[in-house]
Amino acid sequence: MRVDIITIFPDYLSPLELSLVGKARRAGILDVHVHDLRSWATDRHRTVDDSPYGGGPGMVMRPDVWGAALDAVRALGPVGGSATLVIPTPSGRPFTQPRAQELSASPWLIIACGRYEGIDARVAAHYREVMPVIEFSVGDVVLAGGEAAALVMVEATARLLPGVLGNEASAPDDSFAPGRSGAALEGPVFTRPPVWRGLTVPDVLLSGDHGAVARWRNERSADRTRRMRPDLVGPGYPDDKVLPLAESEEW
Ligand code: SAM
């Protein structure tokens, strides 16, 4: 998969050289290119923003600068390759695990990181005529720019690419994974030592009884989902995925 990220803060994307994403890049599974939007500005101050039509606070990113950048970056890709334009914005559709899975099937993503009050709305409207455009929000919070959202989206997408995760079995079992057995959230996890600061690991996990372990995990998962994310229980999340709440459990 190829990913091009356009930003006024290229250094913000340096964590993409680390950890799982960095490894995927070095393995040739993921090809990331970061571009400085200001290289397409035309004045000597390399201006990318202007005041909003209609008045109001803040500045808006200019469509002419974004248009020049996006046209140039689209021309860099594989001949005939079809890119999807991803625009992070708090007013976009929620970026969720199923959406990450969909993105991981795309051969090429171009991510346009906004700043200030965002990007002139004509940019999304124009490119929608020539390529798929998705506006995504990474949560009901307002960030200072699209770079942190791009990091979230690239990492969530990259770990779903074949060959990236050490254990391919872990992604289908993660919280929110489509088709996951049990409720939406994964339950608590434990490792050695068996007793730490007086806290013990639940006996069932030491029992060697795989059926009992699976049942316990499903119950914990259902309980956690009900407590933490009641919005994920009910319509849209079939009742048969949510097991009864075990009040007596500690975890
Ligand atoms: N005035 C905008 C609004 O209220 O919708 C917020 C603009 S925000 C300060 C600047 C940029 O940060 C946005 O253009 C977008 O790129 C990014 N951003 C902020 N919050 C985001 C979120 N929850 N998800 C994705 N991108 C976000």
pLDDT at 178 over 60: yes
Give the domain range for residue 199. Answer: 179-232
Ligand 1 touching residue 187 (CB < 6 A): no
CB within 8 Å of 216: residues ≥ 6 apart: 202, 204, 205
Regarding whether 151 and 77 lie in a shared domain, the answer is yes
Compute how many other C-beta atoms are within 10 angstroms of the C-beta atom of residue 91: 8
Distance 87 CA to ligand 1 centre (A): 10
The whole-number pLDDT of residue 168 equals 74
Which tokens go with 233?
């229980």
Regarding whether 212 and 139 lie in a shared domain, the answer is no
Regarding whether 201 and 89 lie in a shared domain, the answer is no
Regarding whether 39 and 9 lie in a shared domain, the answer is yes
Set 46, 102, 174, 188: catalytic member: 174
Q: Give the separation between CA 41 and CA 21, rounded to whole angstroms.
A: 30
The whole-number pLDDT of residue 38 equals 98
The whole-number pLDDT of residue 203 equals 97
Mean pLDDT rounded to a whole number for the chain: 91
* Structural domain contains residue 249: no
* Structural domain contains residue 68: yes
Distance 192 CA to ligand 1 centre (A): 42
Candidate of 142, 147, 151 to mutate for ligand 1, largest count of ligand atoms within 8 Å of Cβ: 142
Can you give the CATH number for the domain in which 224 is found?
1.10.1270.20
pLDDT band at 180 (very low <50, low <70, confident <90, very high): confident
Burial class (CB in 10 A: 0-12, 13-18, 19+), 38: middle
Instruction: Work out the percent of the chain whose per-residue pLDDT is above 70.
Output: 91
Ligand 1 touching residue 151 (CB < 6 A): no
Q: Give the separation between CA 133 and CA 123, rounded to whole angstroms.
A: 10
Regarding whether 148 and 25 lie in a shared domain, the answer is yes
Give the neighbor-by-neighbor strand order of the sheet with 2-7: 31-36, 2-7, 108-112, 84-94, 133-137
DSSP 119: B
Q: Give the separation between CA 40 and CA 4, rounded to whole angstroms.
A: 15
Q: Give the separation between CA 26 and CA 59, rounded to whole angstroms.
A: 38
* Structural domain contains residue 221: yes
* Structural domain contains residue 164: no
Regarding whether 140 and 61 lie in a shared domain, the answer is yes
pLDDT at 92 over 50: yes
* Structural domain contains residue 128: yes
Can you give the CATH number for the domain in which 19 is found?
3.40.1280.10
Total domain count for the chain?
Answer: 2
Regarding whether 192 and 107 lie in a shared domain, the answer is no
Ligand 1 touching residue 63 (CB < 6 A): no
